[in-house]
């Protein structure tokens, strides 16, 4: 238990998998959790074959009892939790009225409730671990509401707000809370996706790109607190522009990018 540890949700594929592999290669004890048990087995085999240390378990992030069980198993008697990565998420794209109500609710439940439940359940472990960190996967879609991604975009606005609030609220406990802001990433989540923004901006980031930014972000924020970490130059430019642009200009840019 002397190794630093990281607990990653949605770890069976995509960004979560790339994150788990990167932290394992850098000496972390990795907790990899997902609803996909088969994917977790493959991940564990790869980590262990490279000499890494990993614990896996099936986790529905909307289930508070499952969170409590998995966190207890992972932290053991030490109760140590160095980094929590709230990565699990789902996406349905298309016109708002053409997406089923069930799909809208699934995005809200997994993307928002999953992150909220994980953070809430993990708090005692984070509080009792010096220098603990929480990394929430946000999105460039939280810069301005995205047509054809309305509910997904709304869930990421919620993650943005939660991150900003907890960064202030948990600072006295020495818990650092931050958010990563990638644009579209080449994962199964965007397979077959065809929206105005994907046609305009393309899908150029890889899961490894995001994992590397996540690793770098958790190395420290420097003298001034840094909460938001855009991934890639395009996300960085859009986020920077949104901070200084009047609302009408942000709307106009978003309208042009999304072809609406």
The residue among 156 and 199 whose pLDDT is bigger is: 156
* pLDDT at residue 224, rounded to an integer: 76
Name the pTM for this structure.
0.91
The residue among 52 and 191 whose pLDDT is bigger is: 52
pLDDT tens digits, 148-182: 999 999 999 999 999 999 999 999 999 999 999 98
How far apart, in whole angstroms, are the C-alpha atoms of residue 61 and residue 138? 16
* pLDDT at residue 205, rounded to an integer: 83
Q: Find out whether 82 and 132 touch, Cβ atoms under 8 Å.
A: yes
Catalytic residue among 28, 33, 144, 156: 156
**Can you read off the two tokens belonging to residue 230?**
């855009």
**How many structural domains are present in the chain?**
1
**Can you read off the two tokens belonging to residue 62?**
């909307």
CA dihedral 27, 32, 37, 41 (to 10 degrees): 0
The mean per-residue pLDDT over the stretch 205-224 comes to 89
Distance of CA 173 to the CA centre of its chain: 22
Rounded to the nearest integer, the mean pLDDT of the chain is 91
| CB atoms closer than 10 angstroms to residue 4 | 16
Find the domain containing 57 and state its range. 5-258
CATH of the domain at 185: 3.40.50.720
pLDDT band for position 56 (50/70/90)?
A: very high
Residue linked to tokens 């289930």: 63
pLDDT tens digits, 229-244: 988 777 777 777 777 7
| CB atoms closer than 10 angstroms to residue 99 | 18
Active site residue 173: no
pLDDT band for position 76 (50/70/90)?
A: very high
* pLDDT at residue 34, rounded to an integer: 98
pLDDT tens digits, 93-146: 999 999 999 999 999 999 999 999 999 999 999 999 999 999 999 988 888 888
* pLDDT at residue 253, rounded to an integer: 80
Active site residue 156: yes
> If we measure between CA atoms, which residue out of 123, 237, 213 comes closest to residue 173?
123
Please compute Rg for the chain using Cα positions: 18
* pLDDT at residue 120, rounded to an integer: 98
Judge whether residue 1 has pLDDT over 70. no
* pLDDT at residue 107, rounded to an integer: 97
pLDDT band for position 258 (50/70/90)?
A: confident
Catalytic residue among 33, 125, 152, 229: 152
């Amino acid at each position: 238990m002397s190794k630093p540890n990281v607990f990653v949700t949605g770890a069976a594929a995509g960004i979560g998998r790339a994150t788990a592999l990167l932290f394992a290669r850098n000496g972390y004890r990795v907790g990899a959790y997902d609803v996909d048990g088969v994917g977790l087995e493959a991940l564990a085999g790869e980590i262990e074959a490279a000499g890494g240390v990993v614990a896996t378990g099936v986790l529905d992030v909307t289930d508070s009892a499952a969170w409590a069980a998995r966190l207890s198993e992972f932290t053991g008697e030490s109760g140590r939790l160095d980094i929590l990565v709230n990565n699990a998420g789902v996406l349905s794209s298309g016109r708002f009225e053409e997406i089923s109500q069930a799909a809208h609710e699934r995005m809200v439940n997994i993307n928002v409730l999953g992150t909220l439940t994980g953070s809430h359940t993990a708090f005692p472990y984070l509080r009792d671990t010096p220098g603990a960190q929480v990394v929430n996967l946000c999105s460039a879609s939280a810069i301005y509401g995205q047509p054809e991604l309305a509910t997904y975009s709304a869930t990421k606005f919620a993650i943005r707000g939660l991150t900003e609030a907890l960064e202030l609220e948990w600072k006295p406990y020495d818990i650092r809370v931050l958010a990563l802001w990638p644009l579209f990433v080449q994962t199964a989540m965007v397979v077959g996706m065809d929206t105005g923004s994907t046609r305009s901006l393309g899908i150029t980031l890889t899961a490894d790109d995001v994992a590397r930014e996540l690793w770098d972000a958790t190395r420290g924020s420097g003298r001034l607190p840094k909460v938001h970490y855009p991934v890639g130059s395009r996300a960085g430019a859009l986020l920077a522009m949104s901070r200084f642009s009047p609302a009408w200009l942000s709307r106009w840019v978003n309208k042009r990018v999304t072809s609406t």
